[in-house]
Amino acid sequence: MIGGEPTPGRPARRIGYRQPPQGGDPGEDGGEVVGVSGSSSAGTLPEDPHRRRLLERSTRQAQAAARRAVLLLDTASALSQAVTLEQVQRVIMQRTPVVLGCDGTMVCLLAEHRLVVSHVSGYPAEFLEAVRDPEKLAACPVADAAATGRVHFVENPAQLLRRFPGAEFVLHTQRRCAWASLPLVVSGRVIGGWSVAYSSERTFDDDERRLMRTLASHYAQALERARLHEIAHGAAVTLQRALLPPEDFGRLGLPVATHYVPAAQGYEVGGDFYSALRLPSGSIAVLIGDVAGHNLAAAAVMGQVRNAMQAYALEGHSPSGVVERVNRLMWALGIPQFATCAYLELQPGTGAVTVVLAGHPAPVVRPPGGEAHSLDITPDPPLGVEEELRCTEHTLLLAPGTLVLLFTDGLVEARDSDVEAGIQRLHRVLQRLPPLPQRVVEQVVPQMLDGCAQEDDVAVLALRIPAREGAGTRVARRFPCDPASVGAARQFVTDVLQAWSADAVADEAEILTSEIVTNAVLHTTEGVEVTVEQLPGALRVEVADASVRMPQLREAGEDAMTGRGLHIVDVLARRWGVEATESGKRVFFELAVG
């Protein structure tokens, strides 16, 4: 020992002590202790000034390293949540000054073998204007980093001019004194350059240089991931739009507009669809729907469902018949997804609209001078849930100028978990908008999604009920040759009378319609057409079919229309009759009103 202190490398004192065996106590035989080591208590600094300075410096370095690690972790976390190029570059602009303490940062990306300034923060406007010139940008260190893959740490203006003579304009326009420029490299391929600048001269130490290289690597990977995402997302949107009809509905003869906004998350294809077409009868069919899922399978089913609905509509099936046939087709094809849809059939000359909903939100209407509200219709089950789906038709008359909005649930689910709250908000938004279909579809989506993340695709279709032709007091609907058509025709007549405020004769009209349509369905194979018409002081209902067999009033027999059926018609109707037509016959009855 020297001066009372132990000599380094030699034991201060040897103590005869044997370590107890594992699990034993010190009194038992064990290993021998050959030395003792010690340390100063926590928080006590060495008395030697040199050693104290070394310890203080080491502590500062450790604290700085820990701080850098936390900042780097936070930055990596923020980058992992950024999806689009805009989001990634926003993270870069916000996080770089925090991590590096710099006064300016710039990202340049290669686009078609040409370097362009993508995002800038912390630089004067005159510098931004200068680097719009490709020649001036090419004179900057960041351009050389992107072109050669080299890293440049420039610690003062003299170094800048010596190494990059053409960058003198940077000193005058940027007013910075130190720079670091690094290439953005992904899998050995340079995709651009990143630079930071400081207002005072600076010496970049090894730790700072390593940190910048790490940041550049993170930034490059995030930018490339976002670029690939946007390419894939664009392809998905292109596919989605290819499956949807062109947004030119001028041939329909009434104002119709549509808008589709894909989900902001991911790049998979959604299942939203819509269409509008003129039917051979002169009516307009309008449909919108949503297939469950966000993938190519959902898109494929969407195309099948939309095309099937259009085909069945063009064949002349009733609205319920169209939807029910699509459901049967989905079951026959073994399609595992389910779908919701709203199908409307509009008679432009009368304002009569027949609606069928299969698990879909009811359309929202806004009459002229009235409040926006949802149609009071309870949806039937979605398509693909039940093998035998029976749909209810709802017919109503809408005043000329009424705005009708159909939408998919992404519009009302984006802001509120409660769908009903979203629908109420939609009513308020629609009430503020001008009643013009094109303006509505352009503005309703951004206003509904304002300030919240869009988690689902959104499709909207708006139309405006045109002016009625003539008095607008004649409404017709075609029904298939099916026993279910009796109830559907009865409901159709009831809905029309309610719209005309002719409820006083609704019961009689319902009974007589049921009798006549029952007979027509029994004796034809090509469907029936039911027409309701207002006459002065009377209501007229016609049922036309392709059968040439004429019903006759006889004694009551087993056949409803050759016995009891016609007797009921004869008793309740003010007038009734049968008329031959080129394609068959027409049975009518009239009821006195008002």
Dump pLDDT digits (tens) for 135-164.
Answer: 999 999 999 999 999 999 999 999 999 999
Strand order in the sheet with 189-198: 114-121, 104-111, 189-198, 178-186, 152-154
- Alpha-carbon gap, residue 530 to 540, rounded angstroms: 11
Residues whose CB is less than 8 angstroms from the CB of residue 208 and which lie 6 or more positions away in sequence, other chains included: 100
User: Is the model more confident about 555 or about 450?
Assistant: 450
For residue 69, tell me if it sits in a domain: no
- Alpha-carbon gap, residue 242 to 302, rounded angstroms: 12
Shortest CA distance to 99 belongs to which of 188, 225, 194?
Answer: 194
Q: Which of 434, 464, 494 is the last residue of a domain?
A: 464
pLDDT at residue 552, rounded to an integer: 65
pLDDT at residue 313, rounded to an integer: 95
The reply to whether 106 and 221 lie within a common domain is yes
Q: In 83-139, where does DSSP find H-type helix?
A: 85-100, 125-130, 134-138
Residue 253 and residue 466 in contact, taking contact as beta carbons nearer than 8 Å: yes
Q: Residue 264: which domain range?
A: 246-464
For residue 281, tell me if it sits in a domain: yes
Residue 318 and residue 482 in contact, taking contact as beta carbons nearer than 8 Å: no
pLDDT at 232 over 90: no
The reply to whether 317 and 213 lie within a common domain is no
The reply to whether 315 and 367 lie within a common domain is yes
The reply to whether 190 and 113 lie within a common domain is yes
For residue 483, tell me if it sits in a domain: yes
327, HSE (Cβ side, Cα atoms, 13 Å): 23
- Alpha-carbon gap, residue 477 to 542, rounded angstroms: 11
Partner residues linked to 422 by β-bridges = none
- Alpha-carbon gap, residue 492 to 477, rounded angstroms: 8
Residue 343 and residue 356 in contact, taking contact as beta carbons nearer than 8 Å: yes
pLDDT at residue 389, rounded to an integer: 93
The reply to whether 424 and 540 lie within a common domain is no
The reply to whether 119 and 261 lie within a common domain is no
Please state which of the ranges 14-28, 185-199, 349-363, 475-489 shows the lowest mean pLDDT.
14-28
53, HSE (Cβ side, Cα atoms, 13 Å): 2
Dump pLDDT digits (tens) for 8-27.
Answer: 555 544 444 444 444 444 44
The reply to whether 431 and 291 lie within a common domain is yes
Residue 252 and residue 284 in contact, taking contact as beta carbons nearer than 8 Å: yes
pLDDT band, very low/low/confident/very high, at 307 (cuts 50, 70, 90): very high
- Beta-sheet pairing, 538-545 with 31-32: unpaired
Q: In 152-263, where does DSSP find H-type helix?
A: 157-163, 168-174, 206-243
Using the CB atoms, write b or e for 552-585: b if 16+ within 10 Å: eeeeeeeebbbeebbbbbeebbeebeeeeeeebb
pLDDT band, very low/low/confident/very high, at 397 (cuts 50, 70, 90): confident
Q: What is the CATH number of the domain that holds 176?
A: 3.30.450.40
Nearest 5°: phi and psi at 432? -85, -20
Query: Which span out of 3-7, 238-242, 532-536, 587-591 was modeled with the highest average pLDDT?
Result: 587-591
Residue written as token pair 């351009």: 143
Q: Which of 416, 441, 464 is the last residue of a domain?
A: 464
Nearest 5°: phi and psi at 547? -80, 145
Residue-averaged pLDDT of the chain = 84
Average pLDDT, stretch 112-125?
91
Partner residues linked to 435 by β-bridges = none
Q: What is the CATH number of the domain that holds 406?
A: 3.60.40.10
Residue written as token pair 């079919």: 545
pTM of the model: 0.58
Residue 461 and residue 288 in contact, taking contact as beta carbons nearer than 8 Å: yes
The reply to whether 358 and 327 lie within a common domain is yes
For residue 57, tell me if it sits in a domain: no
Residue 361 and residue 409 in contact, taking contact as beta carbons nearer than 8 Å: yes
The Cβ of residue 501 has, within 10 Å, a number of other Cβ atoms equal to 9
Shortest CA distance to 404 belongs to which of 470, 450, 491, 342?
Answer: 342
Dump pLDDT digits (tens) for 92-108.
Answer: 999 999 988 999 999 99
Q: What is the CATH number of the domain that holds 577?
A: 3.30.565.10
For residue 201, tell me if it sits in a domain: yes
Partner residues linked to 529 by β-bridges = 478, 544
Please state which of the ranges 35-49, 65-79, 109-123 shows the lowest mean pLDDT.
35-49
Average pLDDT, stretch 79-85?
86
Nearest 5°: phi and psi at 151? -100, 135
pLDDT at residue 579, rounded to an integer: 87
The reply to whether 459 and 478 lie within a common domain is no
Share of the chain above pLDDT 70, in %: 84
The reply to whether 80 and 154 lie within a common domain is yes
The tokens describing 234, both together, are 């664009």
Q: How many domains does the chain have?
A: 4
The Cβ of residue 200 has, within 10 Å, a number of other Cβ atoms equal to 9
Q: Which of 190, 210, 234 is the last residue of a domain?
A: 234
Residue 322 and residue 307 in contact, taking contact as beta carbons nearer than 8 Å: no
For residue 71, tell me if it sits in a domain: no
Using the CB atoms, write b or e for 9-48: b if 16+ within 10 Å: eeeeeeeeeeeeeeeeeeeeeeeeeeeeeeeeeeeeeeee
pLDDT at residue 323, rounded to an integer: 96
- Alpha-carbon gap, residue 45 to 553, rounded angstroms: 119
For residue 240, tell me if it sits in a domain: no
The reply to whether 439 and 317 lie within a common domain is yes
For residue 124, tell me if it sits in a domain: yes
- What is Dmax (Cα atoms) for the chain? 139
The reply to whether 109 and 216 lie within a common domain is yes
